Homo-oligomer: A and B are copies of this chain.
Amino acid sequence: MNRSPRRRAWAAIAYAAMVLCATALFFVIRSLGETPVGPAQATSRVAPAGPASDALQHLLVTLTAVVIAGRLLGRLLRRMGQPPVLGEVIAGVMLGPSLLGAVSPEAYRFVLAPEVVPYLGIVSQLGVVFYMFLVGVELNPDLMRGQLHVTVATSHASILVPFVLGSALALFLYPRFASPDVPFTSFALFIGIAMSITAFPVLARILSDLKLTKTDLGTVALTCAAVDDVTAWCLLALVVGVVEASTGMAVVATVLTLAFILLMFAVVRPGIGKALRASDEAEPGHGRIALAVVGMMAAALTTEAIGVHALFGAFLFGAVIPHDSRLAHALTRGFEGFVKILLLPAFFAFAGMRTEIGLLSGVDAWVACGLIVLVATAGKFGGTLVAARAGGLRWQSAAALGVLMNTRGLMQLIVLNVGLDLGVITPTLFTMMVVMALVTTIATTPALQMLLRRGFVPDLR
């Protein structure tokens, strides 16, 4: 193509002429159309109602605020030797009515407009479903098998002791802070569960920050936490079944849940394994990832239909995908970013919005809050300590394990939100339990460092 300067000039002129002609034509058309003949209204119908037009804007404001605040606070806490995820949780609480709402109601209404609440809720629910799916995908059953004989007992002790202590505490809390119309059984079961949660991901993060992951203590702690997670989620599934259904229905729900778990591990897991072995050479494309997502959503819907929470199905479907397959890596790589960077902060904002430190007014409330922290710690730390010592660990190692298992965090918040949604706990009790989760998580690192400074060697028994 030869392109002399002259030809170039002609091209420029032609281009300018084209743009000018088009503009002129548009204005002619415009003047023709601006006649007083309005549009006919016969065929116009009201469009199906979408979200309020500024819902997206409000949602973006909330997400921006909570992501920024969470990151900044996470950095700050990291310097103080705390796990960064704690920063995101605290950022959510600070942007809620507890701090921002108390200091500047206008700023609070700007960051968390009332009309955004249901949208923020659905986005964070979707995020938590995917998060639990990823937790399931990353679950390493080999880790659990390796030292199963020591750790299952320790782990179950670290669930049962706080569970029993928690339900005993429910005797005190029930007449004071329970939702009206909640039967005691549901309430006690729920408080018991809420006390027994250990936050596997936060625990893993703390261990890796303190360079303890590869030690004996680290392995045992991770195994215990993984067993804890699986057990606690199964228990929560049952509790939700009990809360949502009558006693007769609860039995049906329990049977169906067990049948579903059996189906997943006896049929779905080998099937997925077989399919993956047949095709694991190729990097999974969007089609196979979409299939896994559809399977996860179907499992979530099944458990929801049984009467157990959708989260349990999502977690279970993740758990039956082999954690070291290419599919698992592709799922983690493809979803982790969106879920952890955007959707979990949305969840923290949502949880923080429902946490209202102002509700803890009066000595009574703070005494109850302190009792909850004490009982939760005593149950988790004490239960683990005794069981681990009985299992053959040194006192110091057992104590370190007890401190680690007392870490709560994200998992705890998820459980608490389920309870608040079900109406088992009141906003006041929700706030107390959030305070408990924060205190026990914050206490973990310093307590562990204290043990380490005392010349405690994590590899010896």
Contact = CB atoms under 8 A, between A and B. Distances in A.
Interface of A: 1, 3, 8, 11, 14-15, 18-19, 22, 25-26, 29-30, 32-34, 37-41, 43-53, 55-57, 59-61, 63-64, 67-68, 71, 117-119, 121-123, 125-126, 129-130, 149-150, 152-153, 156-157, 160-161, 163-164, 167-168, 170-171, 174-180, 182-185, 187-188, 192, 286-287, 289-291, 293-294, 297-298, 300-301, 304, 310, 330-331, 333-342, 350, 353-354, 359, 365, 387, 390-392, 420-421, 423, 426-428, 430, 461
28 contacts: A8-B149, A11-B391, A14-B153, A18-B156, A29-B164, A32-B171, A38-B175, A39-B178, A39-B179, A39-B187, A44-B178, A47-B426, A48-B117, A56-B304, A57-B310, A60-B297, A60-B301, A60-B310, A67-B290, A67-B293, A67-B294, A123-B123, A130-B338, A333-B333, A334-B336, A334-B337, A335-B337, A338-B338
Contacts of A156: 15, 18-19
Contact of A428 (B44, B297, B301): B44
B421 A180 contact: no
A430 B47 CA distance: 10
Contacts of A60: 129, 297, 300-301, 304, 310
B174 A33 contact: yes
A177 B43 contact: yes
A299 to B, nearest CB: 10
Contacts of A426: 43-45, 47
A341 B290 contact: yes
B179 A126 contact: no
A290 B345 CA distance: 11
A129 B310 CA distance: 27
Contacts of A338: 130, 334-335, 337-339
A33 B123 CA distance: 37
Contacts of A330: 337
A44 B117 contact: no
Contacts of A15: 152-153, 156
A337 B289 contact: yes
A50 B421 contact: yes
A420 B308 CA distance: 39
A354 B48 contact: yes
A56 B126 contact: yes
A38 B294 CA distance: 44
A312 to B, nearest CB: 13
B175 A39 contact: yes
Nearest to A168: B29
A39 B289 contact: no
Contact of A427 (B22, B37, B47, B340): B47
Contacts of A26: 163-164, 167, 188, 192
Nearest to A170: B33
A43 B153 contact: no
A359 B45 contact: yes
Given A47-B420, A64-B298, 12 more contacts: A30-B184, A30-B185, A34-B183, A43-B426, A50-B117, A51-B118, A55-B121, A57-B304, A67-B290, A67-B293, A118-B119, A334-B338
